[in-house]
Amino acid sequence: MKKIGILGGVGWASTLDYYRAICEGAGRFFAERGTGSPLPVPPITIESVVQAQTRALRGRPGDEASWAAFDAVFREAMLTLERASCDFALIASNTPHARLHAIREGVVMPILSIFDATAEATAATGADRALVLGTAVTMQARNYANVLAAQGVTANETLPQDEIAEMQMMIDEDFYGGASTTAQERLLRFCAKHAEPGTAILLACTELPLAFPDHIDDVSFEAGGFLFVNPSAAHAAAALDLALAEEKAG
């Protein structure tokens, strides 16, 4: 099995879910092959950054230079995973992927993009349009829209700044560290306000899927009358597929 590097801590709750999903998925794979207990899991190294620090280092949209300090924290974490002999790595968070082009500079180890995994999963639902929900950084960027377009899916235009601020506040108040009791209700109200019928709603912050604990590992699912895509689940599944590539080929 290939060794996985996970860059976590943004936030810690979603980091746990990535680790659990990969390990449980590996367990199911080997159990189906008749492997005895204890079931193997891929070797994994986690490098956890401090969200209170990285949030303060966020730059300004369209100003590359303002992101230098933010990029440097994630780049150094990736280099730490590279020195730990990880075969590839992934960031257990959507937001830093908007800076992946800069973070990966000087990093030889492959970094698995959440955008690619999510675009494939969205196209597989048959939807031709998507509403991308996430942090202010994710919703202001066009990364998801550009990758989805290559799959024939039109993403939402950037929402008004006050609506983006509302989603960021929702993530901070209801989701960071685990979903509150009102998280699902508040999220569904936001979806009802902004999602047209037939839209695939991308839960493009790794905390947002916590609102639907029964679907935490489902790449796509329906809830509250809406079609959701879980980028975290798609990303973790892609990482597991890559880690087990030789075993599956055999």
**What pLDDT is stored for residue 1 in this prediction?**
95
Cis peptide before 38 (omega within 30 of 0): yes
Burial 7-28 (b: 16+ CB within 10 A, else e): bbbbbebbbebbbebbbebbbe
Burial of 57 (0-12, 13-18, 19+ CB in 10 A): middle
What span, in angstroms and rounded, lies between the C-alpha atoms of 235 and 8?
13
- C-alpha distances (whole Å) from 139 to each of 145, 162, 177, 199 are 10, 12, 21, 16
**What pLDDT is stored for residue 62 in this prediction?**
84
Q: Checking DSSP bridges between strand 44-48 and strand 4-8, what pairing results, if any?
A: parallel
- C-alpha distances (whole Å) from 8 to each of 29, 51, 109, 229, 239 are 24, 9, 17, 21, 14
What span, in angstroms and rounded, lies between the C-alpha atoms of 139 and 132?
7
Task: Note whether 160 and 140 are within 8 A (CB).
Answer: no
Cis peptide before 34 (omega within 30 of 0): no
Digits of tens for pLDDT over the chain (250 positions)?
999 999 999 888 889 989 999 999 999 999 999 999 999 999 999 999 998 899 899 998 889 999 999 999 999 999 999 999 999 999 999 889 989 999 999 999 999 999 999 999 999 999 999 999 998 888 888 889 999 999 999 987 667 889 999 999 998 888 876 677 788 999 999 999 999 888 999 999 888 988 998 998 999 999 999 999 999 999 999 999 999 999 988 7
**What pLDDT is stored for residue 141 in this prediction?**
84
Q: DSSP for 44-88?
A: EEEEE--HHHHHHT---TT-GGGGHHHHHHHHHHHHHHHHTT-SE
**What pLDDT is stored for residue 3 in this prediction?**
98
Secondary element (H or E) of residue 129 = strand 129-133
**Domains located in the chain, CATH noted:** 4-114+236-249 (3.40.50.1860), 115-232 (3.40.50.1860)
Task: Note whether 204 and 145 are within 8 A (CB).
Answer: no
pTM above the 0.75 mark?
yes
**What pLDDT is stored for residue 106 in this prediction?**
96
- List Cβ neighbours of 186 (8 Å cut-off, separation of 6 or more): 170, 174
